[in-house]
Amino acid sequence: MSAPAGRTPLLKVENLGAGYGGMPVLHEVALEVYPAEMVALVGSNGAGKTTLLRALSRMLPCTGSIVLNGQELAGMTPDEVFGLGLVQVPEGRQLFDRMTVQDNLLMGGYRRHDKAAVARDLDKMYALLPRLAERRRQLAGSMSGGEQQMCAMARALMAAPVLMMVDEMSLGLAPVVVDQLMEVLAAIQRDGVTVLLVEQDVQLALSGADRGYVMETGRVVHSGLAKDLIDDPAVQQAYLGL
């Protein structure tokens, strides 16, 4: 497994297991995410990717170890984990549809006490995503799917995440919109935000990531530098149609 030499992982997962109603879904999952990386977690529908995110967020009981910034998350509530900076952009966006774009963004920063910093970050979001600035007084539910995804990502960033997990960002969106969103993620990463990108679109995710993990039936079956995974014959045959 290729990883940044001499660095401590921001997130370290070992021997993770989880499931629903006594039915196991995840089996001995291990992965690491390092500061300011973009890591892709890819695999087909049903591979266990979203279940893994739910376990990391402590929304789902699990076994094994999850360490964020040196702190074990076992026994914590989802709210406590969120307070440590593990923030998720959920599949389907899950915005407050009948609230304005600006109110959605402010909801992302509701736990933060430094209101001046929140105001600065709001201006930063509008500079990063000018379309949201144009729509700031518009109801979030009335925007296009791509605009809603931008809003969901900006809302997560308003929480000042230590690690931002993005679940199925490209789902249902036109390729040109997805390309724009990948550019936003690249800009976020350049600004020092660590990203775990969960995607069915293997080519998309690995093309933008530093490293990657491939999941099948609840297990990590391939891992390494993203560029090496794209060139891996097994990954190409299974996911890239090559």
Q: Is residue 93 part of a domain?
A: no
pLDDT of residue 5: 59
Q: Is residue 131 part of a domain?
A: yes
pLDDT of residue 183: 93
Identify the domain boundary among 114, 142, 160.
160
pLDDT of residue 22: 84
pLDDT of residue 32: 97
Contacts of 233 (CB under 8 A, 6+ apart): none
Could you tell me if 30 and 75 are in contact, meaning their C-beta atoms sit under 8 angstroms apart?
no
pLDDT digits (tens), the chain, 242 positions: 456 656 899 999 999 999 998 899 999 999 999 999 999 999 988 899 999 999 999 999 999 999 999 999 988 999 999 999 999 998 877 899 999 999 999 999 988 889 999 999 999 999 999 999 999 999 999 999 999 999 999 999 999 999 999 999 998 889 999 999 999 999 999 999 999 999 988 999 999 999 999 999 999 999 999 999 999 998 988 887 65
Residue 83: closest CA among 71, 95, 92, 93: 71
Report field, pTM of the whole predicted structure over 0.85: yes
What is the rounded CA–CA span in Å between residue 87 and residue 100?
21
Q: Is residue 194 part of a domain?
A: yes
pLDDT of residue 3: 61
Structure tokens at 144: 């296009």
Identify the domain boundary among 123, 138, 160.
160
Structure tokens at 179: 């390309």
In the chain, count of helices (H) and strands (E)? Answer: 10, 10
Greatest Cα-to-Cα distance within the chain, rounded to the nearest angstrom: 51
Q: Is residue 125 part of a domain?
A: yes
Tell me: do 107 and 174 sit in the same domain. Answer: no
Tell me: do 51 and 106 sit in the same domain. Answer: no
Q: Is residue 90 part of a domain?
A: no
What is the rounded CA–CA span in Å between residue 16 and residue 184?
31
What is the signed CA dihedral for 72, 76, 79, 84, rounded to 10 degrees? -20
Amino acid at 222: H
What is the rounded CA–CA span in Å between residue 59 and residue 203?
29
pLDDT of residue 137: 96
Domain of 195, CATH number, reads 3.40.50.300
Tell me: do 77 and 166 sit in the same domain. Answer: yes
Please, what is the Cα angle at 88 between 85 and 93, to 5 degrees? 145
Q: What is the three-class DSSP state of 15? A: strand
Tell me: do 67 and 167 sit in the same domain. Answer: yes
Amino acid at 191: D
Tell me: do 57 and 168 sit in the same domain. Answer: yes
What is the rounded CA–CA span in Å between residue 135 and residue 142?
10
Tell me: do 152 and 40 sit in the same domain. Answer: no
Q: Is residue 209 part of a domain?
A: yes
User: What's the total number of domains in the chain?
Assistant: 2
**H-state helical runs in the chain:** 49-56, 78-83, 101-108, 115-128, 130-134, 145-157, 175-190, 202-208, 226-231, 233-235
Residue range of the domain that includes 43: 1-85+162-242
Tell me: do 174 and 231 sit in the same domain. Answer: yes
Q: What is the three-class DSSP state of 140? A: helix
Q: Is residue 92 part of a domain?
A: no
pLDDT of residue 229: 96
Q: How many CB atoms lie within 10 A of CB 142?
A: 13
